[in-house]
Amino acid sequence: MPELPEVEVTRLGLVEPLEGAHLLALHMGKPLRWPLGIAPQALAGACIGRLQRRGKYLWMPLLPRRAAVDGARPGSEAAAGQETPGLLIHLGMSGSLRLEAQPTPAGVHDHVQWQTDRGWLRLHDPRRFGAVVWSPGRDVGPAARLLAGLGVEPLGPDFDAAVLRRGLQGRRVSIKQALLAGDVVVGVGNIYCSEALFEAGIDPRTPAGRLGPQRCARLAEAVRDVLQRAVQAGGSTLRDFRDAQGHDGSFQLQARVYGRDGQPCRRCGATLRRIVQGQRASYFCPGCQHR
Protein backbone atom coordinates (compact mmCIF):
# COMPACT_ATOMS: atom_id res chain seq x y z
CA MET A 1 0.00 0.00 0.00
CA PRO A 2 1.32 3.48 -0.80
CA GLU A 3 2.15 5.09 2.55
CA LEU A 4 3.08 8.64 3.48
CA PRO A 5 6.49 8.62 1.72
CA GLU A 6 5.00 7.31 -1.52
CA VAL A 7 2.22 9.90 -1.43
CA GLU A 8 4.71 12.68 -0.69
CA VAL A 9 6.96 11.50 -3.53
CA THR A 10 3.92 11.61 -5.80
CA ARG A 11 3.04 15.13 -4.64
CA LEU A 12 6.59 16.37 -5.19
CA GLY A 13 6.58 14.99 -8.72
CA LEU A 14 3.29 16.69 -9.62
CA VAL A 15 3.16 19.94 -7.68
CA GLU A 16 5.17 22.10 -10.09
CA PRO A 17 3.98 20.59 -13.41
CA LEU A 18 0.30 20.83 -12.46
CA GLU A 19 0.05 24.11 -10.55
CA GLY A 20 -1.82 26.57 -12.74
CA ALA A 21 -2.76 23.96 -15.35
CA HIS A 22 -6.30 24.03 -16.72
CA LEU A 23 -8.45 20.94 -16.47
CA LEU A 24 -9.94 20.34 -19.90
CA ALA A 25 -11.86 17.19 -18.97
CA LEU A 26 -12.08 14.54 -16.27
CA HIS A 27 -12.63 11.00 -17.53
CA MET A 28 -13.94 8.37 -15.11
CA GLY A 29 -13.56 4.63 -15.68
CA LYS A 30 -14.63 1.78 -13.44
CA PRO A 31 -16.05 2.76 -10.02
CA LEU A 32 -13.52 3.21 -7.23
CA ARG A 33 -13.94 3.00 -3.45
CA TRP A 34 -16.22 6.06 -3.22
CA PRO A 35 -18.17 7.97 -5.88
CA LEU A 36 -16.80 11.20 -7.31
CA GLY A 37 -19.72 13.19 -5.94
CA ILE A 38 -20.09 15.59 -8.89
CA ALA A 39 -20.65 15.37 -12.62
CA PRO A 40 -17.17 15.16 -14.22
CA GLN A 41 -18.10 17.69 -16.89
CA ALA A 42 -18.82 20.28 -14.18
CA LEU A 43 -15.08 20.45 -13.45
CA ALA A 44 -13.99 21.24 -17.01
CA GLY A 45 -12.17 24.55 -17.25
CA ALA A 46 -11.05 24.67 -13.63
CA CYS A 47 -7.53 25.79 -12.72
CA ILE A 48 -5.50 23.30 -10.70
CA GLY A 49 -3.92 24.72 -7.57
CA ARG A 50 -0.88 23.67 -5.58
CA LEU A 51 -1.13 20.01 -4.63
CA GLN A 52 -1.19 19.39 -0.88
CA ARG A 53 -0.88 16.29 1.28
CA ARG A 54 -2.59 15.27 4.52
CA GLY A 55 -1.45 11.88 5.74
CA LYS A 56 -1.92 9.50 2.82
CA TYR A 57 -4.39 11.79 1.03
CA LEU A 58 -3.66 14.34 -1.70
CA TRP A 59 -5.75 17.49 -1.99
CA MET A 60 -6.04 19.04 -5.46
CA PRO A 61 -7.60 22.52 -5.22
CA LEU A 62 -9.70 23.54 -8.23
CA LEU A 63 -10.41 27.19 -8.89
CA PRO A 64 -13.10 28.11 -11.43
CA ARG A 65 -11.66 29.60 -14.62
CA ARG A 66 -13.27 33.02 -13.98
CA ALA A 67 -11.57 33.34 -10.60
CA ALA A 68 -8.27 32.15 -12.05
CA VAL A 69 -8.45 34.81 -14.75
CA ASP A 70 -9.07 37.41 -12.06
CA GLY A 71 -5.78 36.43 -10.42
CA ALA A 72 -6.93 34.30 -7.48
CA ARG A 73 -5.07 31.06 -7.04
CA PRO A 74 -6.17 28.10 -4.87
CA GLY A 75 -4.49 28.55 -1.52
CA SER A 76 -3.39 32.11 -2.30
CA GLU A 77 -4.13 35.23 -0.24
CA ALA A 78 -6.64 36.29 -2.88
CA ALA A 79 -8.64 33.17 -2.15
CA ALA A 80 -8.19 33.45 1.62
CA GLY A 81 -11.36 33.52 3.71
CA GLN A 82 -13.28 31.29 1.34
CA GLU A 83 -13.25 27.56 0.84
CA THR A 84 -11.69 26.40 -2.40
CA PRO A 85 -13.32 23.30 -3.91
CA GLY A 86 -11.18 20.44 -5.06
CA LEU A 87 -10.54 16.72 -5.31
CA LEU A 88 -9.39 14.53 -2.44
CA ILE A 89 -7.30 11.66 -3.81
CA HIS A 90 -6.34 8.41 -2.12
CA LEU A 91 -4.11 5.83 -3.80
CA GLY A 92 -5.69 2.89 -1.98
CA MET A 93 -3.86 -0.43 -1.85
CA SER A 94 -2.20 -0.38 -5.24
CA GLY A 95 -2.69 3.03 -6.85
CA SER A 96 -0.23 5.44 -8.40
CA LEU A 97 -0.52 8.69 -10.35
CA ARG A 98 1.37 9.15 -13.61
CA LEU A 99 1.72 12.36 -15.63
CA GLU A 100 2.21 11.97 -19.38
CA ALA A 101 3.03 14.81 -21.74
CA GLN A 102 1.46 13.01 -24.69
CA PRO A 103 -1.71 10.87 -24.46
CA THR A 104 -1.33 7.13 -24.81
CA PRO A 105 -4.11 4.52 -24.86
CA ALA A 106 -5.58 4.08 -21.40
CA GLY A 107 -4.88 0.74 -19.73
CA VAL A 108 -7.49 -1.50 -18.17
CA HIS A 109 -6.49 -0.27 -14.70
CA ASP A 110 -6.44 3.47 -15.55
CA HIS A 111 -9.67 4.43 -13.77
CA VAL A 112 -9.42 8.25 -13.58
CA GLN A 113 -7.84 10.54 -16.17
CA TRP A 114 -7.28 14.27 -15.89
CA GLN A 115 -6.92 15.84 -19.33
CA THR A 116 -5.09 19.15 -18.85
CA ASP A 117 -3.39 21.70 -21.04
CA ARG A 118 -0.07 20.33 -19.73
CA GLY A 119 -0.65 16.64 -20.28
CA TRP A 120 -2.64 13.69 -18.97
CA LEU A 121 -2.66 12.63 -15.34
CA ARG A 122 -3.81 9.06 -14.74
CA LEU A 123 -4.74 7.11 -11.63
CA HIS A 124 -3.60 3.54 -12.18
CA ASP A 125 -5.18 1.28 -9.55
CA PRO A 126 -5.33 -2.50 -10.19
CA ARG A 127 -7.24 -3.28 -6.97
CA ARG A 128 -9.59 -0.26 -7.15
CA PHE A 129 -9.38 0.63 -3.45
CA GLY A 130 -8.30 4.16 -4.35
CA ALA A 131 -10.63 7.14 -4.52
CA VAL A 132 -11.12 10.56 -6.10
CA VAL A 133 -13.77 12.56 -4.24
CA TRP A 134 -14.99 16.09 -4.96
CA SER A 135 -15.48 18.38 -1.96
CA PRO A 136 -16.52 22.04 -1.66
CA GLY A 137 -13.40 22.58 0.46
CA ARG A 138 -10.67 20.76 2.29
CA ASP A 139 -12.13 21.67 5.68
CA VAL A 140 -15.79 21.09 4.81
CA GLY A 141 -17.88 18.40 3.16
CA PRO A 142 -16.54 14.94 2.27
CA ALA A 143 -12.90 16.00 2.59
CA ALA A 144 -13.36 17.17 6.16
CA ARG A 145 -15.12 13.93 7.09
CA LEU A 146 -12.43 11.73 5.53
CA LEU A 147 -9.57 13.70 7.09
CA ALA A 148 -11.16 13.91 10.54
CA GLY A 149 -9.36 11.95 13.23
CA LEU A 150 -5.97 11.85 11.52
CA GLY A 151 -3.01 12.24 13.84
CA VAL A 152 -0.23 14.80 13.70
CA GLU A 153 1.98 14.96 10.59
CA PRO A 154 5.28 13.20 11.40
CA LEU A 155 7.26 15.43 9.03
CA GLY A 156 5.63 18.62 10.29
CA PRO A 157 6.77 21.01 13.03
CA ASP A 158 4.11 19.84 15.51
CA PHE A 159 5.46 16.32 15.90
CA ASP A 160 7.86 15.65 18.76
CA ALA A 161 8.44 13.32 21.70
CA ALA A 162 5.97 15.13 23.95
CA VAL A 163 3.16 14.86 21.40
CA LEU A 164 3.92 11.19 20.86
CA ARG A 165 3.98 10.40 24.57
CA ARG A 166 0.69 12.19 25.23
CA GLY A 167 -0.96 10.24 22.45
CA LEU A 168 0.33 6.90 23.72
CA GLN A 169 -0.49 7.33 27.40
CA GLY A 170 -3.01 4.80 28.68
CA ARG A 171 -2.89 2.64 25.54
CA ARG A 172 -2.63 -1.08 26.17
CA VAL A 173 -2.18 -2.13 22.54
CA SER A 174 1.31 -2.76 21.23
CA ILE A 175 3.35 0.21 20.08
CA LYS A 176 3.31 -1.24 16.54
CA GLN A 177 -0.50 -1.25 16.45
CA ALA A 178 -0.72 2.19 18.06
CA LEU A 179 1.49 3.69 15.36
CA LEU A 180 -0.38 1.98 12.54
CA ALA A 181 -3.74 3.27 13.85
CA GLY A 182 -2.89 6.72 12.54
CA ASP A 183 -4.75 8.75 15.17
CA VAL A 184 -1.61 9.66 17.13
CA VAL A 185 0.76 10.18 14.23
CA VAL A 186 -0.43 9.73 10.66
CA GLY A 187 1.07 7.83 7.74
CA VAL A 188 3.63 5.58 9.46
CA GLY A 189 2.87 2.48 7.43
CA ASN A 190 3.96 -1.08 8.08
CA ILE A 191 7.42 -1.05 6.51
CA TYR A 192 8.32 2.31 8.06
CA CYS A 193 6.91 1.36 11.44
CA SER A 194 9.11 -1.74 11.60
CA GLU A 195 12.15 0.26 10.55
CA ALA A 196 11.54 3.09 13.01
CA LEU A 197 11.03 0.72 15.94
CA PHE A 198 14.31 -0.98 15.04
CA GLU A 199 16.12 2.36 14.90
CA ALA A 200 14.67 3.28 18.30
CA GLY A 201 15.52 -0.12 19.83
CA ILE A 202 11.91 -0.86 20.80
CA ASP A 203 10.27 -4.28 20.54
CA PRO A 204 7.07 -3.96 18.44
CA ARG A 205 5.14 -5.93 21.09
CA THR A 206 5.80 -3.36 23.82
CA PRO A 207 2.56 -1.90 25.26
CA ALA A 208 2.31 1.64 23.89
CA GLY A 209 1.47 3.18 27.25
CA ARG A 210 4.71 1.89 28.77
CA LEU A 211 6.96 4.09 26.66
CA GLY A 212 8.58 6.77 28.80
CA PRO A 213 10.10 10.11 27.77
CA GLN A 214 13.44 8.72 26.61
CA ARG A 215 12.00 5.98 24.43
CA CYS A 216 9.38 8.36 23.01
CA ALA A 217 12.18 10.78 22.13
CA ARG A 218 14.12 8.03 20.34
CA LEU A 219 11.02 6.82 18.55
CA ALA A 220 9.90 10.28 17.39
CA GLU A 221 13.36 10.93 16.00
CA ALA A 222 13.45 7.53 14.32
CA VAL A 223 10.01 7.97 12.72
CA ARG A 224 11.01 11.32 11.25
CA ASP A 225 14.40 10.03 10.07
CA VAL A 226 13.01 6.88 8.44
CA LEU A 227 10.25 8.76 6.62
CA GLN A 228 12.63 11.47 5.39
CA ARG A 229 15.05 8.85 4.06
CA ALA A 230 12.16 7.03 2.38
CA VAL A 231 11.05 10.21 0.60
CA GLN A 232 14.62 10.82 -0.56
CA ALA A 233 14.73 7.25 -1.91
CA GLY A 234 11.53 7.74 -3.89
CA GLY A 235 9.46 5.63 -1.50
CA SER A 236 9.21 1.84 -1.54
CA THR A 237 8.11 -0.29 -4.48
CA LEU A 238 7.10 -3.69 -3.14
CA ARG A 239 4.67 -4.43 -5.96
CA ASP A 240 2.72 -1.69 -7.76
CA PHE A 241 3.94 1.75 -6.70
CA ARG A 242 5.54 4.07 -9.27
CA ASP A 243 6.16 7.80 -8.95
CA ALA A 244 4.60 10.43 -11.21
CA GLN A 245 7.28 9.82 -13.84
CA GLY A 246 6.90 6.02 -13.69
CA HIS A 247 10.01 5.24 -11.63
CA ASP A 248 10.25 2.65 -8.84
CA GLY A 249 11.08 3.62 -5.28
CA SER A 250 14.21 2.11 -3.71
CA PHE A 251 13.83 2.44 0.06
CA GLN A 252 12.98 -1.26 0.36
CA LEU A 253 16.60 -1.97 -0.59
CA GLN A 254 17.76 -0.02 2.49
CA ALA A 255 15.48 -1.83 4.96
CA ARG A 256 17.33 -3.20 7.98
CA VAL A 257 14.59 -5.49 9.28
CA TYR A 258 11.52 -5.37 7.01
CA GLY A 259 11.29 -8.51 4.89
CA ARG A 260 14.59 -9.86 6.28
CA ASP A 261 13.31 -12.48 8.73
CA GLY A 262 15.75 -15.36 9.19
CA GLN A 263 18.70 -13.20 8.18
CA PRO A 264 21.35 -11.80 10.54
CA CYS A 265 20.90 -8.34 12.01
CA ARG A 266 23.36 -5.93 10.43
CA ARG A 267 23.90 -4.30 13.80
CA CYS A 268 24.30 -7.19 16.29
CA GLY A 269 24.22 -10.38 14.21
CA ALA A 270 21.13 -11.89 15.88
CA THR A 271 18.61 -13.66 13.66
CA LEU A 272 15.78 -11.33 12.65
CA ARG A 273 12.24 -12.46 13.44
CA ARG A 274 8.81 -12.07 11.87
CA ILE A 275 5.55 -12.07 13.85
CA VAL A 276 1.97 -11.13 13.00
CA GLN A 277 0.27 -8.27 14.84
CA GLY A 278 -3.24 -7.25 13.94
CA GLN A 279 -2.98 -9.24 10.68
CA ARG A 280 0.14 -7.28 9.70
CA ALA A 281 3.67 -8.69 9.60
CA SER A 282 6.18 -7.18 12.02
CA TYR A 283 9.93 -7.62 11.63
CA PHE A 284 12.38 -7.01 14.45
CA CYS A 285 15.70 -7.93 16.01
CA PRO A 286 15.45 -9.72 19.37
CA GLY A 287 18.98 -8.60 20.18
CA CYS A 288 18.59 -4.87 19.49
CA GLN A 289 14.94 -4.23 20.34
CA HIS A 290 13.68 -4.49 23.91
CA ARG A 291 10.27 -4.37 25.63
The one-letter code for the residue type at 257 is V
Query: What whole-number distance in Å separates Cα of residue 165 and Cα of residue 216?
Result: 6
pLDDT tens digits for range 144-179: 999 999 999 999 999 999 999 999 999 999 999 999
The residue range of the domain holding 99 is: 4-147
252 and 195 in contact (C-beta within 8 Å)?
Answer: no
CATH code, 179:
1.10.8.50
* Sequence-ordered list of residues with C-beta below 8 angstroms from that of 159, at least 6 positions apart, any chain: 152, 153, 185, 220, 223, 224
CB atoms within 10 A of CB 184: 21
* CATH code, 8: 3.20.190.10
Q: Is 291 exposed, middle or buried (0-12, 13-18, 19+ CB in 10 A)?
A: exposed
Q: Which of 236, 189, 220, 218 is nearest to 289 (CA)?
A: 218
290 found inside a domain: no
| Number of compact structural domains in the chain | 2
pLDDT over 70 (residue 81): no
* Within-domain flag for 291: no
- 186-238: pLDDT as tens digits: 999 999 999 999 999 999 999 999 999 999 999 999 999 999 999 999 999 87
Cα gap 217→206, rounded to integer Å: 16
On whether both 55 and 135 belong to a single domain, the answer is yes
276 and 224 within one domain: yes
Per-residue model confidence (pLDDT) at position 275: 97
pLDDT of 266 strictly over 50: yes
Contacts of 220 (CB under 8 A, 6+ apart): 159, 160, 161, 163, 164
89 lies in the same domain as 114 = yes
Same domain, 201 and 272: yes
Domain boundary among 100, 121, 147: 147
Is 7 in contact with 58 (CB distance < 8 Å)?
A: yes
Q: What positions carry a catalytic annotation?
A: 2-3, 56, 280
The model's confidence at residue 261, banded by pLDDT at 50, 70 and 90, is very high
Q: What does the pLDDT look like over 37-48, one tens digit per residue?
A: 999 999 999 999
| Strand, helix or coil for residue 62 | strand
174 plus 143 within the same structural domain: no
Contact 184, 154 (CB under 8 A): no
Among residues 120, 147, 174, the one where a domain terminates is: 147
Task: Give the global pTM.
Answer: 0.91
Mean confidence (pLDDT) of the chain: 92
66 pLDDT tier (thresholds 50, 70, 90): low
Are residues 29 and 112 part of one domain?
yes
Residues 273 and 242 in one domain: yes
Judge whether 232 lies within some domain: yes
Band (pLDDT 50/70/90 cuts) for residue 117 is very high
